[in-house]
Chains A and B, each alone.
Chain A
């Protein structure tokens, strides 16, 4: 019946709600060792499954292919290869970024993993898949034991 039709959508009732969610996330045994080593020594650690011949970076204390426990920690180079990259023009709220950020997945040498991180020290136009890069660490006093202890990766 037409007289019951919603004529003014502004009069439709809505309730606004927030899902406020604050958490702490535990880095875990592997994450703790990885990040404290970055903080204290500016070095990258990985774990290796000898049976599956997989070197995990980020390191894990288990192998995702054979479910074995891993405690074979190795230091790996801070260099790697750009496997893919993107320049992002929007922030994580969907608003335009005044300064676009270039992110890449860097396959770290001697591992089967790598890190997603920012690329610096070059122009995005100069980037290519396959380009060699290395991690640039924050100075020791600024390092807190987080991914951001690596400032960015720059072309070698």
Chain B
């Protein structure tokens, strides 16, 4: 059995949303997703999953605050403390059990409500070994970036090109908050946070909500003309000890990919994957993730990106949506923004930024510093 995405619903992404509560945003995205899938949440959806992190939400036991706006009151509901892609994978597994044939998955960001994001991030660090310094939590990104550049001989300019590409890609995405034509110099000359990382190497926060409806193979064929099949799924956590990690690479993506590609029968990703949406919380991170997904030779991501291999018209387009840099950083929900872009492209509904004849895509997620956790999904419009 293969699980399919049969409906997507989403709000506009905005830099701030003072007019609506997170519940109202979820309601809007849910109504749109159920309409897209042609399902009634009160009758047809067996289980509801949200991906959320209490501290980002400002609630303890946030799971309790999700059922009503999703149409999930008095129904099976759970929250996974992970990114949206982990929620989606959890939904697919619930369908695989045979207990449910339709599952809804939600993730959102109301980042504009968070007044002390740095404090929340610092609170994610080991209290005994890693919280002793009065330094911005992105110091971990500075450490990773320098080591990555050292090991792969990637230049500072090549990292900056990621930002230039993704913000340029966002110009053709009506949902994006931060489209721009900027230059490598703009990135290099912006304020330094943790050398070599500048402010422009960090994606900017935004608000947005996504709901995705999944269905079993049998049900998907009934519900949808254009089901998008979840062909391969993988997720992985590296050791939480920063002291025991590899600083220059992302082993979590590498291992999650191995699992997902094996399941999907991907043996030559450069040939078989038509495009990718990868995590780009920081500039260098996209390059690490491209390499870990096997979309280029080891250590070559920066060089190839500079040459245009990952542009919309390149060998393997990466983050055609604009990614976190262009669309906006949606915390745990950016993973579903990646999935949404794959779905729109594979349905040939991506408008001006449509990639021609794409059949297979990969979506990859990461949860930000200091985590070593991420997911990979191979999606296709062919069963």
Q: Which of A37-45, A68-76, A97-105, A135-143 contacts B (4 or more CB under 8 A)?
A: A97-105
Whether B243 lies near A58 (C-beta < 8 A) is: yes
Chain A residues numbered 72-101 whose CB sits less than 8 Å from any CB in chain B: 83-94, 97, 101
Bound complex: CA A115 to CA B128 (Å): 12
Whether B241 lies near A116 (C-beta < 8 A) is: no
Chain B residues numbered 136-158 whose CB sits less than 8 Å from any CB in chain A: 136-139, 142-147, 150
Whether B132 lies near A147 (C-beta < 8 A) is: yes
Chain A residues with Cβ below 8 Å from B195 are: 86-89, 124
Bound complex: CA A92 to CA B192 (Å): 14
Bound complex: CA A83 to CA B239 (Å): 18
Q: Describe B's contact surface by its main secondary structure.
A: loop
Q: B197 in the interface, Cβ–Cβ < 8 Å? A: yes
Q: Which of B45-53, B93-101, B114-122 contacts A (4 or more CB under 8 A)?
A: B114-122
Whether B134 lies near A97 (C-beta < 8 A) is: yes
Is the interface on chain B under 10, 10 to 19, 20 to 34, or 35 or more residues? Answer: 35 or more
Contact of B143 among A12, A27, A103, A118 (CB under 8 A): A103
Bound complex: CA A31 to CA B129 (Å): 10
Chain A residues with Cβ below 8 Å from B18 are: 6, 9, 12, 14
Whether A88 lies near B243 (C-beta < 8 A) is: no
Q: Which residue of B lies closest to A12 (CB)?
A: B18
Q: Which residue of B lies closest to A118 (CB)?
A: B133
Chain B residues numbered 187-245 whose CB sits less than 8 Å from any CB in chain A: 191-197, 239, 241-244
Whether B243 lies near A115 (C-beta < 8 A) is: yes
Chain B residues with Cβ below 8 Å from A90 are: 135-136, 138, 193-194
Bound complex: CA A88 to CA B132 (Å): 14
Chain B residues with Cβ below 8 Å from A93 are: 116, 118-119
Chain B residues with Cβ below 8 Å from A87 are: 142, 192, 194-195
Whether B239 lies near A64 (C-beta < 8 A) is: yes
Q: A155 in the interface, Cβ–Cβ < 8 Å? A: no
Chain B residues with Cβ below 8 Å from A115 are: 129, 243
Whether B128 lies near A88 (C-beta < 8 A) is: no
Chain A residues with Cβ below 8 Å from B133 are: 88, 92, 101, 103, 118
Chain B residues with Cβ below 8 Å from A146 are: 132
Q: Could you mark each residue 13-42 of chain A with 1 if its beta carbon is under 8 Å from any beta carbon of chain B, else 0?
A: 010110101010101000100000000000
Bound complex: CA A113 to CA B239 (Å): 12
Whether A147 lies near B146 (C-beta < 8 A) is: no
Contact of B58 among A17, A27, A101 (CB under 8 A): A17
With A12-B19, A86-B197, A88-B142 already in contact, the answer to whether A103 and B244 are too (CB < 8 A) is no
Bound complex: CA A21 to CA B144 (Å): 29
Chain A residues with Cβ below 8 Å from B135 are: 88, 90-92, 97, 101, 103
Bound complex: CA A67 to CA B191 (Å): 44
Chain B residues with Cβ below 8 Å from A103 are: 133, 135, 139, 142-143
Bound complex: CA A115 to CA B132 (Å): 12
Whether B147 lies near A88 (C-beta < 8 A) is: no
With A19-B58, A27-B128, A105-B243 already in contact, the answer to whether A88 and B146 are too (CB < 8 A) is no
Chain A residues with Cβ below 8 Å from B143 are: 84-86, 103-105, 116
Q: Which residue of A lies closest to B196 (CB)?
A: A86
Whether B244 lies near A92 (C-beta < 8 A) is: no
Whether B128 lies near A83 (C-beta < 8 A) is: no
Q: Which residue of A lies closest to B147 (CB)?
A: A84
Bound complex: CA A115 to CA B118 (Å): 22
Q: B309 in the interface, Cβ–Cβ < 8 Å? A: no
6 A-B pairs (CB sep. < 8 Å): A58-B241, A84-B146, A85-B143, A92-B134, A115-B129, A148-B132
